[in-house]
Amino acid sequence: MSAGIELWPPQASHHAEQVDLLIGSFGAMVWLLTLPVFVLMTWFTIRYRRSHQVNRQHAPTHNLWVELGWSVIPFLLTLGFYVWATMLFFDIHRPPPDAMTIHVVAKQWMWKYQHPEGAREINDLHVPAGEPVELVMTSEDVIHSFFVPGLRIKQDLVPGRYTSLWFNASRPGRYALRCAEFCGTDHSVMGGNLIVLQPQDYAAWLSRSADGGLDGTLAETGATLFRQMGCSGCHAAASPVRAPALGGIFGRPVALSDGRTVIADEQYLSDAILLPNKEIAAGYPSIMPTYGNVLTAEQVNALVAYLKSTHAAQDSK
Ligand code: HEC
Ligand SMILES: [Cu+2]
């Protein structure tokens, strides 16, 4: 890696090419709209300077078509850019359904990643080339921002909230990533590399990292936590405590005590664990303890992954 400042980072995905095209075209439009103003201004100041003898009679005061032209054309051009940029923006927030999910937890001052198969890593993130990868991200302390210049993607990580984006890195290689939100003393060293590998190299990397055999998949870690943390004491079918059955809850509508119905997505489940009094399942006592100070963001991710992996008891009949 060169130590100098990279003026134009490499393009590591199709999205990066599209962003560059947008920025390049926008730059061209800015020149197109500004250059005539300055050229004419310079020309007029020279031609109509006081000492110069020119015909100053019958100067035109207005011209409807010219005025309409310089209002309507820039308006339509900039509106076009608004639509184009918005489409790109929505695109990076709508992952394809087959994207693999990697969980990212930021904290002062490091990035922690967890792959669906269980492999964990810090600061450097390995991903396969040519496959859609969704990052589901949260922060353990303050707001951080995940920025990979080579992919032209950047997204804030907010404590207590999940944010996400996705990418499809096309070229194997090593691309710098960094935190783009001032987050305290060591903000400037909060970075790492996105390491894009050929799919077979990624598979090899995954099995090597799993060699330690410590952590199963994220969902398996969650299943263990579900017992260790006493969740099953209330939520298991055989439990004497009246608590909702959680099998297959992910993606289902849940009736709340205030009459609303919400879909149990990742945010709902994580809130149910961290802030149980925020939304209470209809018909149940609000006796669930708060796990806000007990569980780390990674443990909550694991519990949510476990809940996602379960199926309702009725489904198996
Ligand atoms: C003391 C018993 C108890 C324990 C321990 C407990 N819960 Fe709960 N939980 C409840 C009750 C009662 C409700 C329903 C009322 C509410 O929403 O707060 C609930 C609600 C939930 C919901 C929302 C369910 C729905 O249908 O909307 C989730 C998710 C959940 N718990 C997960 C967990 C997890 C994960 C743990 C362990 C970290 C846990 N609970 C520990 C009693 C408990
Ligand atoms: Cu940061």
Is the CB–ligand 1 distance for residue 190 below 6 Å?
Answer: no
Instruction: Residue 94: give the domain boundaries.
Output: 9-51+61-212
Count Cβ atoms within 10 A of the Cβ of residue 148 and give its class: 0-12 exposed, 13-18 middle, 19 or more buried: buried
The mean pLDDT of 252-281, rounded to a whole number, is: 89
Is the CB–ligand 1 distance for residue 12 below 6 Å?
Answer: no
Examine residue 1 and state whether it is found in any structural domain, yes or no.
no
Find where tokens 């209809």 sit.
282
Cα separation, 237 vs 28, in Å, equals 64
Are 176 and 161 in contact, with CB atoms under 8 Å apart? Answer: no
**This prediction's pTM:** 0.75
H or E stretch covering 254: strand 253-255
Q: Whose alpha carbon is nearest atom 21 of ligand 1? A: 272
Q: Which of 212, 238, 253 is the last residue of a domain?
A: 212
Q: Based on the domain organization, do 188 and 295 belong to the same domain? A: no
Is the CB–ligand 1 distance for residue 241 below 6 Å?
Answer: yes
The mean pLDDT of 36-51, rounded to a whole number, is: 93
- Per-residue confidence (pLDDT) for residue 292, from 0 to 100: 80
| Average pLDDT of the chain to the nearest whole number | 88
Amino acid type, 34: T
Number of structural domains the chain divides into: 2
Tell which atom from ligand 1 comes closest to the C-alpha of 256: 27
Enter the tokens of residue 33. 């709209």
Q: Based on the domain organization, do 240 and 161 belong to the same domain? A: no
Cα(273) to centroid(ligand 1), Å: 7
Is the pLDDT at 165 greater than 70? The verdict is: yes
Where do the H-state alpha helices sit in the chain? 14-47, 64-93, 199-209, 218-228, 231-235, 266-274, 297-309
Is the pLDDT at 71 greater than 60? The verdict is: yes
What DSSP string describes 82-127? HHHHHHHHHHHHS--TTPEEEEEEEETTEEEEE-TTS-EEES-EEE
Q: Based on the domain organization, do 205 and 233 belong to the same domain? A: no
Percent residues over pLDDT 90 in the chain? 50
